[in-house]
Amino acid sequence: MISILFVEDIAETRAWLREAVEAAFPGPHIREAMNVREAIFAMKGHSFDIAIVDLGLPDGSGTEVISAFSASRPETTVVVATVMGDDASVVAALSQGAQGYLLKDSPFDVFVRQLTLIEQGLPALSPSIARRIVEHFRKTVISQDESADLTPRERDVLGLIGRGLRNADTALALGLSESTVASHIKSIYAKLGISSRAEAALQAARLGLMKS
Amino acid sequence: MIAARHVLLSPLTRLILLSVVGLALLLAMALVAMQPATGWTWSPAEWRPVADVHPAVWVSLGTGLLAWLISAWVWALKPAAPAAVLFAASGLATLTFCFASFAPRIALPMEPGVVAWIWRINMLGASAFGVIMTCLFLIYPSRLRFWKPLAAAVVVVFGLWTLLRTFGPFQDLAEVQRITTFEMVAIVMAVVWQVRASADDPRLRAIALWLGASTLLGAGAFIVTVAAPLTFGFDPLVLENYAFSFFLVIYVGLAVGLMRYRLFDLGAWAYRLVFYASAALALIVLDIALASLLALDPGEALGVSLIVVAVAYLPLRDILWRRMVRRRPADADGLFHLVLDAALKPTAQERATGWSNLLRDHFNPLEMVEIPEQIAEAEIGGEGLVLKTPGVAGAPAFRLMHANNGRSLFTPRDAGVVTHLVRLMQQAEASRSAYDRGVSEERLRIARDIHDNIGAQLMRALHSTKPDRKDAMIRDTLADLRDVINNAQSPALPLDAVLADLRAETADRLEPHGVSLRWSLQADAGLVLTPSTVHALRSVIREAASNTIKHAGATRLGVSLQITPHRVEVVVEDDGSGFDIETVKLGQGLANMKARVEGVGGAFALSRGETGAQLQAHFPHQAAAS
C-alpha cells in the first residue's frame, strides 16, 4: 500500500488531489496537511512514499517542507505541485531536493498519468522548466566541482525536452530507452541541488562568510 | 594672504587664540602669585607651593578665566554682532577686575606705586563691567527706545565718575563699591525695561528673563555680600575675591541659555566648537608639557627623549591634528553613492532630507538654514563664511555657514563640488523618474494584458454552461497567467518556447487517449510572437486536440505549422471517423476558435480530410525579430 502526503491549503484542490491519487494507486494511505507546520509534523511521525507539496502555503513556502524532507526523510519522493508557481520557483524547489513536479491545472487524466510515472521513478520535465534549468547551469558554472556540471548526454536530453519533445520522443531521438532518459532527468535534478549549494557556498566564500 | 585671512576668520582659530591669551595671562598671574617674599626668581624650587598661596587668588584667577573663555566663545562665533561684542567685552572686564583683585595676597614685595596701579586697573575693570552690562541690556534682546542717548549717558556718567575717582585730585579707590552698586541699579532698570518691552514676543521675553535673572543673580549676589556693605560702611559678608565667583552665574547662565533660547542667535551647535577648541587646547597643553619635560631632562636622557619625540610623538600628534582639523578628502565614489541613495528615495520628502543630510555630512557646517530665494548656482559669500546651495530634488536652497565645524572657509572648490552634486542629483532624479515611468508603463501593459485576455477568458468560462468547456477555458486562463508571470519582463514571447510548450502539452493530453502526435513546424528562426498571436495559436491547437479526443476515435493527430514574419498557417488533421461536414453544427469550442481567428483578421475552415477531419486556419500577425 502506497502512502502519500499532500501539502495543500485549498480545500477543493485537496479533494481533487485525493481523487487523482485514488485513481492512480489502488487503496492508498493518504495524509493531508494544510500548511508547513502540519506537513513537518506529519513528516516526523510517518515515512511516506510520495509527498506532493504546494509552494505557496499560508505559513511559509513549500520549499521549507522540501528541505525538511531531503534532510530527514530522503527515502520519500518529494514532488512540487503548482499552478501559478513561476518557472524560477519550480527550479528553486527542484534544487532544494524535489524530484519532480506536477501542474495542478492539468486535465485529470494527464495528472493521474504523471503521478503513476513519478511513482515508477520516471519524472517528467516540461519544456519551459528544461530551458530554465539549462539557463541555471549556464549561470552557475563551477569549474572546481565537475560532478556538479551536466554531462553532454544530459545536455542533449535537456535540449530536446526544451524543444517540446517528451521523454519517449527524446529517448527515440537519442537512441536510448525511456528509463535511461528518466534517470538522466533524475540526475539533472540532483545536480541542480549540488550546483545550487556549491554556488551558494561560493557566493558565501566570496562574501567572506566562510573561513576556508 | 588668503591663508592669513583664513586663520583670522575661522571661528575655531579665534576661539583658540583668545583662549591661549587667557591661559597665558592666567599663567603669568599665577607666576606672580607664586613668587616668594624674597624677591623675583625663575627657579621653580624657590616658588611658593600652590597650597601656600591664598585660595582667594586661585578663585579670582579661575573666575576671570572662565568668564573670559565663555564670552570669547560667543564672540568667536558672532564677531560682528554688537550684543556679542558687548558680551565679550564684559568678559574681558571681568577678567581684568578679577586678575587685579589680589594685590594684598601676593608675597612678592611690590612698590606702592605698582600696587596703586593694580587697584586702578581693578576699579576700571569693575566699573567697565557695569557700564558694558547696562549697555548690553539696552540693546539685547531687543533695542529699547532711546537706547542711543541712554547708552551714551551711561558711558559718560559712570565713565567720568570712575575716571575722576581713579586718577587725579579726586582719587578715591574705595569709591569703586559705590560706583558698581549704582551701576547695578542701572542694570536692573534696563533688565526690567527689557522684560516689559518684550511682552508680546515670547522668545525675546524668555531671553530677557533668562539673561536678566542670571545677571541679577550673579552681580546682585556680589553687590549684596560685598559692595553694598562696603558702601554703607560695614564689613563685607564674604571675602571679595570669593564673591567674584558669583559673576560666573552670569556666564554659566549664558552657556545654558544658548542651548535653550538660541541666545545671540547661536544654537546648540555652538557647543561643537567648544569641543574642538578643547581638543586643540589639550594638544597645545600636551606640547607645552612635553617641551618642559624635555627641558628638565638631564643631558644624557635628552637624546633619547628627542628620538622618542621625533619618531613617535610628532607623527602621532600630526595625525591627530590632521584628523581633527583637516576635512576628509572628498571621495568621489562615496559621494556618488550618497547622491544615488538620496535621489532614489521613494518620496519627495525623503529625497529632500537625503540631500540636506548629504550637504551637512560633506561640509559639516556649524549652521545650515533654508533660504526662500531661488539660486541657480552655488555661491560663496562673506569671504568664505557662507555657502549658498541651490534647491534640488524638492529640497529648498540652503545657506551653510562656517565650514567644517567652523574650522575652515568655503572655497571655490566647494562651490564646484556643490554644482557637481546638484548635477548628479538632477541626473539621478531624471533617471529615477524615467525608471518610474518605465515601471508604470510596464504595469499598464500587464494590466491591459490581464484585462484583454485573462478577464475575457474568465468571463467566457463563467458564462459557459458546459462543465468541460468551463474547465478548458479556465486551464487556458491559467496558462496565460503563467505566461504573464514568467514573461513579465517582455510582452513578446519567443516562438520556439511557445511552440515547445504547446507541443509537449498537446502530446500529454493525447497520450491517455491513445492518440499519438505528429508535429511539424516550418518557421523562420528567431521569431518573436505577440501575445495575441500566441493566444490564437494556442486556442486553435487546444480546441482541435479536444475535438479529436472527444469525437473522432482517432489514433493519430497531425499538427503542421508554417510561420513567417507576417503570417501563421495551421493545419490540424486526425485519422478519426470524421464527420459529415454538411450536417455538423459547429460546437461551442469551434465557434469560439473561428471567432478568435477571424477576430485577428484570419480565416478558418473545417473540412473532411483524406482520413479524418481537417482544420485549417491562417491569420496575419506581426512578428518582431528577436
Q: Which three cell numbers stand for residue B150?
A: 541712554
State the nearest Cα–Cα gap between A151 and chain B, in angstroms: 23
Residue B321's H or E segment, with its range, is helix B314-325
Of the residues B482, B485, B513, B521, the best mutation for testing chain A's interface (the one with the most A CB atoms within 10 Å of its CB) is: B482
Q: How far apart are CA B409 and CA B383, in angstroms?
A: 8
DSSP labels, B269-291: THHHHHHHHHHHHHHHHHHHHHH
Burial of residue B3 (CB within 10 Å: 0-12, 13-18, 19+) is exposed
Q: What ipTM did this prediction achieve?
A: 0.79
* Residue B575, SS3 per DSSP: coil
Q: What phi, psi does B107 have (nearest 5°)?
A: -80, -30
Say if residue B235 is exposed, middle or buried (CB neighbours under 10 Å; 0-12, 13-18, 19+): exposed
Q: Which helix (H) or strand (E) holds B86?
A: helix B82-99
How far apart are the CA of A22 and the nearest CA of chain B, in angstroms?
A: 17
Strands A3-7 and A50-54: parallel
Most confident of B13-22, B124-133, B296-305: B124-133
CA A148 to chain centre: 17
Widest pairwise Cα distance in chain A: 53
Instruction: Give the separation between CA B370 and CA B389, rounded to whole angstroms.
Output: 10
Nearest CB to B504; choose among A105, A107, A164: A164
Are the Cβ atoms of B497 and A128 closer than 8 angstroms? Answer: yes
> Which of these, A187, A186, A185, lies nearest to A160 by C-alpha position?
A185
Between residues B256 and B585, which one has the greater pLDDT?
A: B256
pLDDT tens readout for residues B461-485: 888 888 877 887 888 788 778 777 7
Q: Rounded distance, CA B300 to CA B96, Å? A: 44
Cα torsion B230, B231, B237, B242 to 10°: value is: -80
Contact B513, B549 (CB under 8 A): yes
Q: Could B478 and A105 be called an inter-chain contact, meaning their C-beta atoms sit closer than 8 Å? A: yes
CA dihedral B269, B270, B272, B273 (to 10 degrees): 150
Question: Shortest CA distance to B100 belongs to which of B128, B71, B72?
Answer: B128
Can you tell me the distance from the alpha carbon of B543 to that of A88, in angstroms, rounded to the nearest whole number?
A: 29
Instruction: Look up residue B162 and give its three cell numbers.
Output: 570712575
3 state DSSP class of B569: strand
Task: Bin A60: left if φ > 0, else alpha if -120 < ψ < 50, else beta.
Answer: left
The helix or strand, by DSSP H or E, that contains position B446, with its residue range, turns out to be helix B412-449
- List helix spans (H) across A96-177: 108-119, 127-139, 152-162, 167-174
Sheet strand arrangement including B527-529:
B493-494, B527-529, B624-625
Question: What is the rounded (10 degree) CA torsion for B185, B191, B197, B198?
Answer: -170
Determine how many CB atoms are found less than 10 A away from the CB of residue B541: 24
| B616 beta partners | B571, B605
Which of A112, A134, A166, A185 is the best residue to mutate to test the B interface, defined by the most B CB atoms within 10 Å of its own CB? A166
| pLDDT of the residue at B2 | 44
CB pairs under 8 A between A and B: 58
For residue B476, give the chain A residue with the closest CA.
A105
Burial class, A165, CB count within 10 angstroms (exposed 0-12 / middle 13-18 / buried 19+): buried
**What gap in Å lies between CA B484 and CA B481, rounded to an integer?**
5
Handedness of CA A19, A23, A28, A34 (dihedral sign): negative
User: What pLDDT sits at residue B4?
Assistant: 45
Which residues lie below 8 Å from residue A122, measured CB to CB, with a gap of 6+? A167, A178, A179, A182
The string of DSSP letters for B58-71 reads: HHHHHHHHHHHHHH
Quote the cell numbers at residue A13.
Answer: 484542490
Task: In whole angstroms, give the CA distance from residue B346 to residue B358.
Answer: 17
**Whose CA is closest to B567, among B493, B620, B501?**
B620
Percentage, residues of chain B above pLDDT 70: 87
Q: Which of the four pLDDT bands, split at 50, 70 and 90, describes residue B584?
A: low
CB contact under 8 A, A106 and B508: yes
| Better pLDDT: B94 or B274 | B94
Q: Give the pLDDT mean for B546-566.
A: 84
Sign of the dihedral through C-alpha A156, A158, A159, A164: positive
Q: Residue A38's pLDDT is what?
A: 93
Note the pLDDT tens digit of each residue in B495-541: 888 888 889 889 888 888 888 899 998 888 778 888 778 878 888 88
Query: pTM value?
Result: 0.49
What is the number of other CB atoms lying within 10 angstroms of the CB of residue B468?
12
DSSP string, A4-44: EEEE-S-HHHHHHHHHHHHHHSSS-EEEEESSHHHHHHHHH
Nearest residue to B425 (alpha-carbon basis) of B360, B345, B365: B345
Q: What is the pLDDT of residues B74-100, one digit of tens each?
A: 888 888 888 888 988 999 999 999 998
Classify burial at B71, counting beta carbons within 10 Å of its beta carbon; exposed 0-12, middle 13-18, buried 19 or more: buried
| Chain B residues lying within 8 Å of A161, measured CB to CB | 504
Q: In the block, which residue shows the cell 548656482?
A: B377
| Nearest CA-CA partner of B382 in B364, B359, B399 | B399
Contact B507 A166 (CB under 8 A): yes
At A19, list the grid cell: 481523487
Compute CA distances B161 → A210, B92, B101, whole Å. 84, 21, 20
Mean pLDDT of B591-616: 80
Of B486, B509, B511, the CB nearest to A86: B486
State percent of chain B over pLDDT 90: 9
For B169-215, write each residue's pLDDT tens digit: 888 888 888 888 888 889 889 988 988 888 787 777 888 888 888 88
Question: Digits of tens for pLDDT over chain A (212 positions)?
Answer: 889 999 998 888 999 999 999 999 988 899 999 999 999 999 998 889 999 999 888 888 888 999 999 888 888 999 998 876 677 788 888 888 888 888 888 888 888 988 888 888 888 788 888 888 888 888 776 555 666 678 889 889 988 988 888 888 899 999 998 889 888 988 888 888 776 666 666 666 666 555 44
Chain A residues whose CB is inside 8 A of the B481 CB are 84
Band of the pLDDT at B1, cuts 50, 70, 90? very low
Question: Using a CB-CB distance cutoff of 8 angstroms, which residues of chain B are in contact with residue A84?
Answer: 478, 481-482, 485
What integer best gives the mean pLDDT of chain B? 81
- CA-to-CA distance for B512 and B549, rounded, in angstroms? 10
Cis bond before residue B467 (omega within 30° of 0): no
User: Using an 8 Å Cβ cutoff, are B522 and B563 in contact?
Assistant: yes
B497 → closest Cβ in A86, A114, A131: A131
**Which of B482, B499, B512 has its CB closest to that of A109?**
B512
Does A127 reach chain B within 8 Å, measured CB to CB?
yes
